[in-house]
Amino acid sequence: MLNLTKFLGYVAEHNPNEPEFLQAVTEVVEDLIPYINNHHQDYETLKILERIAEPERVVSFRVTWLDDNNVIQVNRGYRVQMNSAIGPYKGGLRFSPTVNLSILKFLAFEQVFKNSLTGLPIGGGKGGSDFNPKGKSDMEIMRFCQSFMTELYRHIGAETDVPAGDIGVGGREIGYLYGQYKRIQNNFTGVLTGKGVHWGGSYIRPEATGYGLLYFVSCVLDNNNDTLEGKTIAISGAGNVAYYAAEKAILLGAKVITLSNSSGTLYDEDGFTLEKLHHLATLGRDIQEFTKKYKSATFYAEQKPWQFKCDIALPCATQNELDKNDAEILVENGCICVAEGANMPSTAEAVKVFHAAKIVYAPGKAANAGGVAVSGLEMSQNAIGQQWNTQKVDSQLKAIMENIHRTCIRYGKEECGYINYLRGANIGGFIKVAEAMKAQGVV
């Protein structure tokens, strides 16, 4: 029989100084070990858990580039190729000074389960660099991306590993990365997703994570005979995921009261409208400026959105941004659902608070899988040389999110009727990968 404490001791010993990775593994194996002991004891002998917690490959490399003053800059690039049992490695690239191996391993590990949940044939990976894109000129961003790809290109491929965007990597960066890949390889292929719609990209990819999150929340509410109409929603972040989550929430009749970034939180007592959102998008990171035009809004410097009373909380910024104290305030204020647009935004203690209060907690690996799902659809379109229209991609995205929701219920419904979405997502995402690893032998 597998023992949780013993297994976590093993992972901690093999991955010293990697707290985020250990946190992600703990959150998953707490559900998997009892399940394996009850249903799949052969996985113990096959060392499925030891293998799934060990990246198949980790590449780390030097990225040297010239800034606008012709000064040489040196950063570190990474690609973590976690698991390819069910398809090519797939997962975003993050450019942020906070990037380190622990964070990329946690993200790659989560990605394995998330990608499996989409039902598409994609394995898990993640990459990025400690490069800080903030305050850099367009040319500096381009030179950095070109240098980064000059090493990365040898480790990726349309049927090997297909990176996409993440924090600090949007359409512009994907463009520069793709241009350099094509220049080196002389090959127009689907090696990256998140490409522009005129050069191999998919409609709805920029919107997919945020829209998918709201489709998932709609399923959650529908399961309780409820809808988004009139619900008050607090969102953190003001980037790709937060923006499109807010847009879809407004379109579905909810009232979005907050958006935020690392400088603070914008609270609008009247709720954001589409017009207000468009204005916010023109302000860049200076979200405080918003209050000059809209008097219903107040900016709270250095504060998080979770103090404001809401029915639904959507953390869409970064890992561990919502702690135990925030979770307690949300529960006290009557929040009925926390659904994660970001990856692991709730600390382990916060998740315990949600579960104890029996409110809905939808983990990122299920709730934010819409982004990678449409990336998977972009790969399919590239492979057959076609481009599907907005309606077709959007309806497939919706169907995938509904399917993930069904999987969570299937594996996460407790005897009392409470749905433990985390357990449902962990077990539902794991089974397919474990069976593929078993079938493929000791590799």
> Under the rule (CB under 6 A), what is the footprint of ligand NDP?
165-168, 209, 237-242, 260-263, 285, 316-318, 321, 341-343, 368, 371
Residue with the CB atom nearest ligand NDP in the bound state: 239
SS3 (DSSP) at 57: strand
Q: Rounded to the nearest whole angstrom, what is the least distance from the CB of residue 287 to ligand NDP in the complex?
A: 8
Q: How far apart are CA 175 and CA 164, in angstroms?
A: 11
Query: Looking at beta carbons only, is 165 or 376 nearer to ligand NDP?
Result: 165
Query: Looking at beta carbons only, is 167 or 327 nearer to ligand NDP?
Result: 167
Q: How far apart are CA 345 and CA 237, in angstroms?
A: 11
Q: Rounded to the nearest whole angstrom, what is the least distance from the CB of residue 313 to ligand NDP in the complex?
A: 14
For the sheet containing 360-362, what is the strand order? 297-301, 264-268, 255-261, 232-236, 312-315, 337-339, 360-362
Q: Work out the angle between the directed axes of helices 138-152 and 171-185 (0-180°, nearest 10).
A: 50
Query: Looking at beta carbons only, is 302 or 415 nearer to ligand NDP?
Result: 302
Identify the bridge partners of residue 72 per DSSP, sorted by sequence position.
66
Secondary-structure percent of the chain, ordered helix, strand, coil, rounded to 5: 50, 20, 35
Q: Rounded to the nearest whole angstrom, what is the least distance from the CB of residue 176 to ligand NDP in the complex?
A: 16
Task: Read off the tokens for 186.
Answer: 């002389």
Torsion of CA 355, 358, 361, 366, to 10 degrees: 90
108, containing H or E segment: helix 101-117
Query: Looking at beta carbons only, is 31 or 173 nearer to ligand NDP?
Result: 173
Q: Rounded to the nearest whole angstrom, what is the least distance from the CB of residue 320 to ligand NDP in the complex?
A: 9
Is 6 catalytic? The answer is: no
Q: Rounded to the nearest whole angstrom, what is the least distance from the CB of residue 44 to ligand NDP in the complex?
A: 32
Query: Looking at beta carbons only, is 43 or 306 nearer to ligand NDP?
Result: 306
One of 90, 105, 126, 195 is an active-site residue; which one? 126
User: Catalytic residue positions?
Assistant: 126
